[in-house]
Amino acid sequence: MRRIVALCVVAACIGLGGAVAEAQAGGSSPPETGIDASPPTETAVPSAPSKPLDAGTYAVRLRDLEQRINELKEQIFRSKARLSLLAETVLEGVVGGGQAAIVHENRMSQSYKLVRVVYALDGAPIFTKADEEGTLGDQKEFEVYNGSIVPGEHTLTVSLEYRGHGYGVFAYLKGYRFKVRSTYTFSVPEGRVSTVHVVGYEKGGPATPLEERPAVRYIERVERPVRPDEMGEGDR
């Protein structure tokens, strides 16, 4: 009995082996199970580099700053152009034009020390000087401007500042400041020299309040310029 069972088992194994060999020889593939055993194909996508979260805000602010700087440069350029044109028109003059000379005279008493002087011609500053020590007032006369100018009418603006100077019963003057502002219009004929003396003086009398005394007056003189061939030997 045992030999019969063993023979059956051997026969079954031989039959199964022959079937497998036949399948392999015929090139048939193993039965499909419905599951794809091949690994999934993945396509590599390059990732974009990461950016800071505030990069956009930074770029916007940078463009805004550049725009403001360009606008400021344009304003400065226009201002320089206007000043250059004004200086060329008012101060340099033209061939065969006129000439102006402006002189400051200080005729104030020792109670007033001149500490600041500002002159402007047709709105353009031509002279500015400050000296808190008061040595500016020690000069009885000094030249403010002397040069060519376009013939016609011109406006001179004068601003003077004095510091009170006193001793004894007038020692209180040291804490006072006195400011004078004045405007004067003068004419420059073509081919002539107009000289304007600006005189700082004290108006009124002993009864006039100290703050009302500082004043300005003008002395104007027009003359023909002296040519080199008209100068004497002693002037050369």
CATH number of the domain that 186 lies in? 2.60.40
pLDDT of residue 234: 47
Confirm whether 132 is domain-assigned: yes
Domain count for the chain: 1
Confirm whether 180 is domain-assigned: yes
Confirm whether 91 is domain-assigned: no
**CA 133, CA 155: separation in Å to the nearest integer?**
30
Give the range of the structural domain holding residue 122, as residue numbers without chain letter. Answer: 98-226
- 96-130 pLDDT, tens digit per residue, is 589 999 999 999 988 888 999 999 999 999 999 99
- 35-57 pLDDT, tens digit per residue, is 344 444 545 545 555 555 567 77
| Token duo for residue 233 | 């030997």
Percent with pLDDT over 90 in the chain: 36
**CA 155, CA 36: separation in Å to the nearest integer?**
102
Distance of CA 100 to the CA centre of its chain: 32
pLDDT of residue 5: 42
Average pLDDT, stretch 132-139? 80
Cα angle vertex 54, ends 51, 58, to 5°? 110
Confirm whether 171 is domain-assigned: yes
- 174-227 pLDDT, tens digit per residue, is 778 899 999 999 999 999 999 999 999 999 988 888 888 999 999 999 988 755
Confirm whether 5 is domain-assigned: no
Cα angle vertex 235, ends 230, 236, to 5°? 90
**CA 119, CA 139: separation in Å to the nearest integer?**
17
Burial of residue 223, with CB atoms counted within 10 A of its CB: 0-12 exposed, 13-18 middle, 19 or more buried = exposed
pTM: 0.55
pLDDT of residue 84: 65
Question: Which residue, 179, 46, 12, is CA-closest to 112?
Answer: 179
Long-range contacts of 174-179 (CB under 8 A, 24+ apart): 176/210, 176/211, 178/112, 178/210, 178/211, 178/214
pLDDT of residue 57: 77
Confirm whether 104 is domain-assigned: yes
Average pLDDT, stretch 62-78? 81
Confirm whether 8 is domain-assigned: no
pLDDT of residue 192: 92
Q: Read off the pLDDT band of 10 (50, 70, 90).
A: very low
Confirm whether 66 is domain-assigned: no
Cα angle vertex 185, ends 181, 186, to 5°? 135
Q: Read off the pLDDT band of 163 (50, 70, 90).
A: confident
Q: Read off the pLDDT band of 164 (50, 70, 90).
A: confident
